[in-house]
Amino acid sequence: SVCVPPPRLSALRRSALCRPRPGAAPRRAMATKPLVAVGQVTSTPDKERNFAACAGLVREAAQRGACLVFLPEVFDYIGCNPAQTLGLAEGLDGPLMGRYAELARDCGVWLSLGGFHERGRDWETTQRIYNCHVLLDSMGQRVAAYRKTHLCDVELEGRVSMKESSFTNAGTEIVAPVSTPAGKLGLSICYDVRFPELSLALQRAGAEILTYPSAFTVHTGSAHWEVLLRARAIENQCYVVAAAQTGQNHEQRTSYGHSLVVDPWGAVVAQCHEGPGLCYAEIDLEYLHRVRREIPVQSHRRHDLYGTIGL
Q: Which residues are catalytic?
A: 73, 148, 190
CA distance 186 to 194: 15
Query: Of 278, 128, 248, 260, whose CA–CA distance to 193 is shortest?
Result: 260
Position 172, amino acid: T
CA distance 65 to 25: 12
CB-based contacts of 145, cutoff 8 Å, min separation 6: 92, 118, 132, 133, 134, 135, 175
Query: Of 85, 45, 39, whose CA–CA distance to 241 is shortest?
Result: 39
90: left (phi over 0), alpha (psi -120 to 50) or beta: beta
Query: Of 246, 242, 308, whose CA–CA distance to 281 is shortest?
Result: 242
